[in-house]
Structure 1
Amino acid sequence: MKNTTAGRGDGSAAGKRRFMIRMVTVLIGGMFLDGYILGIIGPVSATMAEDLQISALWEGMIAAAALIGVLLGSPIGGWAADRWGRKPLFTFDIALFTVASGMQVFIDSPMWLLVVRVLMGIAIGIEYSVGWPLMSEFSPTHLRGRLLGAMQIAWYGGFMTAFLIGYLLNEYTSLSWHLILATSTILSVVLFLGRLGLPESPRWLWSRGRKDEARALARKYLASDVLADVEHEDVAKGTFSMLFNKQHWRSTLFISGFWFCAVTPYFAIATFADSVLHQYGLGGGLAGGVGLSAVALTGVVLTFFLIDRVGRRVLTVPPQWLCAVVLAVIGLWTGAPAAVVLALFLVFSFFNAMYNALTGVYPPEVLPTEIRGIGTGFATSVSRVGAGIGTFLMPVSMSGLGAGPTMLIAAVVAVAGAGLSQWLAPETKGMSLTEAAAELTH
C-alpha cells in the first residue's frame, strides 16, 4: 500500500495551520508559473522573431503554444488525478515543467521552441486539473472562496511580474531571449522541492473506498468542518461521460462556457497590449502591458476580499455585462479620444479580472469529488481553446479587420458569457463542498 500519510502535520491546530500555509504556497506558486510563462513571451516576441527569422504566423503560434499545451494536458491530468490520485500528478507536473523550461536555453529553431512551450503548457494543464481540486478539498469552508481566489491573484501577479521582468531584461541587459524565457525554471525548482512529501487528498481516498486512510489524513490535516463533510462523500468511481449526464451537464456547460468567454478577450488584449494600444494611438511598452495587468491584478485582489462576504454570483454576472458594453463602445466609437479609449481598456481589465477570479472557484465547487479532477481539466481545456483563439487570432484580426471590428467580436464573446452566467451561475457561499456540488444537479 502506498504511503499517503507523508507530509508534516501533527493533528494540532498549529500543525494544521503550518500544513495549510505550505499547501497554499505551493499551489499558488503553480498558478504564478502559468501566468509567468504566458506573460514573459510578449516583451521578447519581437527580438525572438527577428533572431529566428519567423513570420507573424509563427510568432502567434509560439505565443499560443503554452495554451495549446494546457488544452492537451488539463483533461489528461484531470482523468489521471481522479483515477490515481492528486499526489502523483502534483509532483510529476512540476518536474515536467522544470525540464521543459530549462530546455528553452538551448533552443535554436522555431519548431523546437514550439514543442518545448507546448510541453510546458501540458505541465500547467495538469496543474490546473490537480491544483484547484486540491485547494478546494483541503480548504476550510469559510476560507475556500478566498483561497481559490488567491490562486487567480497569483496568476495575474505572475503575468504582470513576467511582463515587467521580460521588458526590463530585454531593454536594459544583454541577456538573450532564451535566458529570459527560461527564468521560469528558477521558481519551478523551488516549487518541486516544496511539494515533496505532501499528502494525498482525504476526499479522493474516501471516494475510492479507502476510508481508514482518509480518516487518518483528515484528522491530521483538515479543519473540523471539512473533516465532518468528508464522510458525506459518496464512494464512487468517476468517468468522463458523467460530465454530460442528466445530473451534471449544467455544471459542465456553465464552468466551461463561462471560463471560455471570460478568458478569450483577456488573453487577446493582454498578450498583445502594446500593439493593441498602439492601434489606438496610445503609448505601449512597459506602461501599456504592465498598466493593464496591474489594474487586472487590483480587480482580482478586490474579488479576493469580497468573495466570501458578498458571494459568487454578484461578482460573476454584473461585471460580465459591463465588460460587454465597454468592449462594444471601444469597437463602435472609432474616433474616441485616446484618453477615453485608455480609460475604457482599464475599466475592462479591472472588471474582467473580477469575474475571471471566479473561473477557478466554480469548477472545484460545483463538481463532486469523483469527477472534480476531470471536470476541472475539461473546463480548463475549453477555456484554453478560447485563450488560444484570442492569442493566435488577435494580431491577424487587428491587421486584417482593424481594431474596431476586433473589439466588437470580443464584445459578442462577453455577451455570450454574461447570458450563460445569468442563467446558470449558482451561489455557493458558505456551503460545504458536498452542498455546493449539488447546486446545479437538479
Structure 2
Amino acid sequence: MTTEQRRRSIIRRINLSAAWGEGLDGFDLGVLSVVLPALTTALGLSPVEAGLIGASSLIGIFVGAPLAGWLTDRFGRQRMFTIDILCFIVLGALQAIVTEPWQLFIVRVLLGVAIGAEYAIGAAMLAEFAPNRNRGRRLSALLVCWYGGFLVAVVVAYAMTAGGLSWRWILATSVIPAVGAWIVRLGVPESPRWLLGHGRRAEADRIVERDLGRDYVEREGIMAEREASGGYRELLRGENLRRLLFISVFWACNVAPYFAIFTFAPVVLESLHLSDPAWGTIGVNGLATVGALVGALTIEHVGRRKQLIPPFWIMAAALAVVGIWSGAPVWVTIVCFAVFAFFNALQGNLSAVYPIEIMPTEVRSSAVGVAAAASRIGAAAGTFLLPIGIDTIGTGWCMVIAAVICVIGALVSQVMAPETTGKTLNETSDTSSGATAKSPAKAEAGAGAGA
C-alpha cells in the first residue's frame, strides 16, 4: 500500500469513527424520546421525574464534555477516543437491568458523560487530519449522522414497541452500534497536530511518514502547528474567551428548542391534537435528517455565516406561528414543525464546525467541551421544564419562549460569527490578531471569493 493509499484509508477510518460516534449519540437520545411515555407509566413517574430522566443525558453532557475536553487536550485524542466508546457499551447494557427511576437516572447521566466526551473528541480528531478543501463538509456530515442516528432510533423504537418489547431492551439497543464504533476505532493513530503542540515532534514525524506523507502535511499546514500550553487558564482569557462565548451562545440557542420539543415530541404533538404522534415524530425527524444533509452539501458554497444567521429567524417565525395561532389547522402545525426541524438541523451542522475551526489546537477539545456543556444547560433546562410548562402555561406559550431563544441566537451570531469558509485550520484558529473573529463582514466577503 502506497503512502497516499494509506493516508486515504486512515482519513476514511477517522471520518467513519467520528461519524459513527455522532450517530450513536443521536441514536441513544432518539430511543429515549420514544420510550419515555412507556417508562413513565411503567415506573409511575411524576412530571418532575419524567423531566429529570428526559434531561439526564443532557446533564451528563454538561459534566462530561468539559472534563473529556480537558483530558483530550492533555492526554491525546486517540486514547480518549477508545476509552469513551467502551463506556458507551457498558452503560448501554446496564439500561436493560435497571428497576428503579433513580437507577435509570444515574445510568443516563453517565451515558450523557460519554456523549459529551464524543463531542469533544471526534470532531477535533477529524478536523486535524482532514484536508482543508472539504473540512467543513466532513465536519457537517457528522451532524447528518447524528440526525440519522436519531431517526433510525425513533423508527426502531416504535417498531420494537409495537412488537411488545420492554422499554429496557429498547434502550439497550444502543450497545449494538457502540460495538461497531469500537471496532472501527481500533488502530486509529494519534493526531500529529496534537503531538506537535505538545513538543512530541519525533512521534508526529513517524505518523507523518507512515500514514500521511510529507507533501500532504506541508500542503495542509499540519507541520506549522506551534508548541503551546493549553488548559482552562489559556482558554478563558483574551480572544479565546471571546470565541468561546460566541460558540457557546449560538450552540445553546440551536439545541435548546430542539431537545425540549423533540425529547417529548409525542407529548407535544398529542397536546396539539394531532391524531398520530408516532408518524408525526418520524416525519419531522426525517425532515431534520434531510436538513442536515442539505447543510453538509452546501456549506462550502454558501458559507458559514449564511448558514447560521437566516435559519435562526426562520425557526423563530415557525415556532411563533405554532405558539400564537392556537386554532391553526393541523397541516399548518405540521408544516411549521417541519420547517423548524429542517432549518434547525441545517444550521446545527455548524456546532461541529465553528468550535473546531476557530479555536487553537492546544484548547480545541476543551473549548468544544465547554461549549457543549453550555449548550446543554439550556437544553437540559428546556427538557426539564417543557412537561411542566405544558401542564401549567400550555404548549403555545412554550413555543413562543422557544421562538425568543432563536431570536437571541440570531442577534448574537450577527455580531460575533466569523466567516471561515475556504481557510486553512491554522488561519481560522489564529488568535494572534483576532481578525478572524472580529471582522465577520470582511471575512465573509473574502470567503465568498474563495468559495
TM-score of the two chains, using structure 1 as the length reference: 0.95
1:407 to 2:399 alignment: yes
1:91 to 2:82 alignment: yes
Secondary structure (helix, strand or coil) at the match of 1:198 reads coil
Partner of 1:319 in structure 2? 311
Partner of 2:10 in structure 1? 19
**What is the aligned counterpart of 2:206 among 208, 211, 216?**
216
Secondary structure (helix, strand or coil) at the match of 2:437 reads coil
Identical-pair percentage = 41
Does structure 1 retain, via aligned residues, the 8 Å contact 2:217–2:223?
no
Matched AA of 1:29: W
Shift of 1:11: 5.7
Partner of 1:100 in structure 2? 91
- For each residue in 1:76-131, what CA deviation from the matched residue of structure 2 results, as whole angstroms up to 9, or x when unmatched? 00000111111111111111111111111111111111111111111111111111
Whole-angstrom CA distance in 2 between matches of 1:87 and 1:105: 30
1:440 to 2:437 alignment: yes
Alignment of 1:235-246 (within 5 A): 235-246=227-238
Shift of 1:315: 0.5
Shift of 1:135: 1.0
Shift of 1:331: 1.6
Alignment of 1:183-222 (within 5 A): 183-222=173-212
Does structure 1 retain, via aligned residues, the 8 Å contact 2:198–2:227?
yes
TM-score of the two chains, using structure 2 as the length reference: 0.93
Does structure 1 retain, via aligned residues, the 8 Å contact 2:29–2:150?
yes
Alignment of 1:174-323 (within 5 A): 174-222=164-212, 224-228=215-219, 229-323=221-315
Partner of 1:117 in structure 2? 108
The number of residue pairs the alignment matches comes to 432
Shift of 1:243: 2.4
Secondary structure (helix, strand or coil) at the match of 1:302 reads helix
1:153 to 2:144 alignment: yes
Matched AA of 1:25: L
Does structure 1 retain, via aligned residues, the 8 Å contact 2:65–2:113?
yes
Matched AA of 2:405: V
Secondary structure (helix, strand or coil) at the match of 2:96 reads helix
Whole-angstrom CA distance in 2 between matches of 1:226 and 1:294: 38
Shift of 1:221: 3.4
Whole-angstrom CA distance in 2 between matches of 1:278 and 1:81: 43
Matched AA of 2:135: R
1:382 to 2:379 alignment: no
Q: Compared with structure 1, are the counterparts of its residues 226 and 429 closer, same or farther at alpha carbon in structure 2 (3 Å cutoff)? A: farther
Secondary structure (helix, strand or coil) at the match of 1:183 reads helix
Does structure 2 retain, via aligned residues, the 8 Å contact 1:156–1:296?
yes
Whole-angstrom CA distance in 2 between matches of 1:317 and 1:441: 17
Matched AA of 1:279: S
Does structure 2 retain, via aligned residues, the 8 Å contact 1:81–1:373?
yes
Q: Compared with structure 1, are the counterparts of its residues 202 and 287 closer, same or farther at alpha carbon in structure 2 (3 Å cutoff)? A: same
Partner of 1:352 in structure 2? 344
Secondary structure (helix, strand or coil) at the match of 1:108 reads coil
Does structure 2 retain, via aligned residues, the 8 Å contact 1:247–1:441?
no
Shift of 1:226: 4.3
Over the residues paired in the alignment, what is the CA RMSD in angstroms? 1.5
Query: After TM superposition, where is structure 1 displaced by more than 3 Å over at least 4 residues in a row?
Result: 219-228
Does structure 2 retain, via aligned residues, the 8 Å contact 1:139–1:226?
no
- For each residue in 1:188-225, what CA deviation from the matched residue of structure 2 results, as whole angstroms up to 9, or x when unmatched? 11211221221111000000011122133234434745
1:417 to 2:417 alignment: no
Shift of 1:251: 0.8
Partner of 1:41 in structure 2? 32
Alignment of 1:134-149 (within 5 A): 134-149=125-140
